[in-house]
Amino acid sequence: MNKILKITIVWSSFLLLLGACEEPQKPKKEKKPTAQKPKVEPLPPPEFNADSAYKFIERQVQFGPRVPNTKAHQKCADYLVSTLESYDLKVIRQRAEVEAYNGKTLQIQNIIAQYDSANPNRVLLFAHWDSRPYADRDDERKAVPIDAANDGGSGVGVLLEIARAINNSEIKPRVGVDIVFFDAEDYGQPNATIIAHQSNTWCLGSQYWARNNPIPNYYAKYGILLDMVGAKDAVFPKEMNSMNYAPTIVNKVWSTAAKLGYSNYFIPKREFRGITDDHLYVNAIAGIPSIDIIHYRPDVNDFGSFHHTHDDTMDIIHKPTLHAVGHTVLTVIYSE
């Protein structure tokens, strides 16, 4: 055997030995596709009937000013309860005594209605149903209660129509819906009073509910407050407390309104100062992220010339405004 052959044999043996000492390569694992949540298509909402919402407001006004401790207040409460019950909702009447800024004891009623009460996935809709006991922004008859067609009546009217629409629709929302009418929202301390300023004199009903919810362990994904949602040429800017507590919900509602063609009502990219309204206590005490759809004119820093005056009558209620708000809220609910 010649040298060249010997060298070749030795070198080949060395390579074989080296190969035998190497770690065997592990087969590459195939990457599993990332699991994606199935896209949930929004359900078609039922038609919102603005004529019906208008009649619900008109009926409230016909009782007279719904001031706590009055017959008109009691009669309207009975009407709200019977109407909600007629739509197959579970209704709770939460009675309580609260003290007003002037030391007066108010007999109040928060009215709570539940659709699909066993569903743990819930959305809260709310408005106040009482009316201002005086017209402190008016030039005349300041001590006389106001009709409160818009400031009180309109939010309730829209929510009653939403309850009726859901009940009559063959397609139901996937979430449970709670409708709450808070009392004594508008019994707050007037600015001109000689009594020293007291905080938290407004929204007495929602404060009581937030601390004493009659439904054990109650929680909702989010809440939407409707306040003064019926006037002609109404505008709803993004309120500061709503943006601080629930910006995602604000953007959801406003983007839904834009898609439906209601940006002239739901003003985009505008924000105004935080106000004391029922949603503040639902956020701060109950811990439910909530927003306020409320009429406010940022250009003049005012809730409207009719606010807390005797001009807050059925004459200022505008059906297209009611439709824009009701259609938007129903669409949001049915997208869940």
pLDDT per residue as tens digits for the range 215-264: 999 999 999 999 999 999 899 999 999 999 999 999 999 999 999 999 99
The pTM (predicted TM-score) of the whole model is 0.88
Which domains are delineated in the chain?
41-334 (3.40.630.10)
- The pLDDT of residue 198: 75
Residue-level pLDDT, tens digit, the chain, 336 residues: 443 334 343 344 443 333 433 444 444 445 555 556 677 799 999 999 999 999 999 999 999 999 999 999 999 999 999 999 999 999 999 999 999 999 999 999 999 999 999 999 999 999 999 999 999 999 999 999 999 999 999 999 999 999 999 999 999 999 999 999 999 999 999 876 656 667 799 999 999 999 999 999 999 999 999 999 999 989 999 999 999 999 999 999 999 999 999 999 999 867 778 899 999 999 999 999 999 999 999 888 899 999 999 999 999 999 999 999 999 999 999 999
Cα angle 194-109-66, degrees, rounded to a multiple of 5 = 60
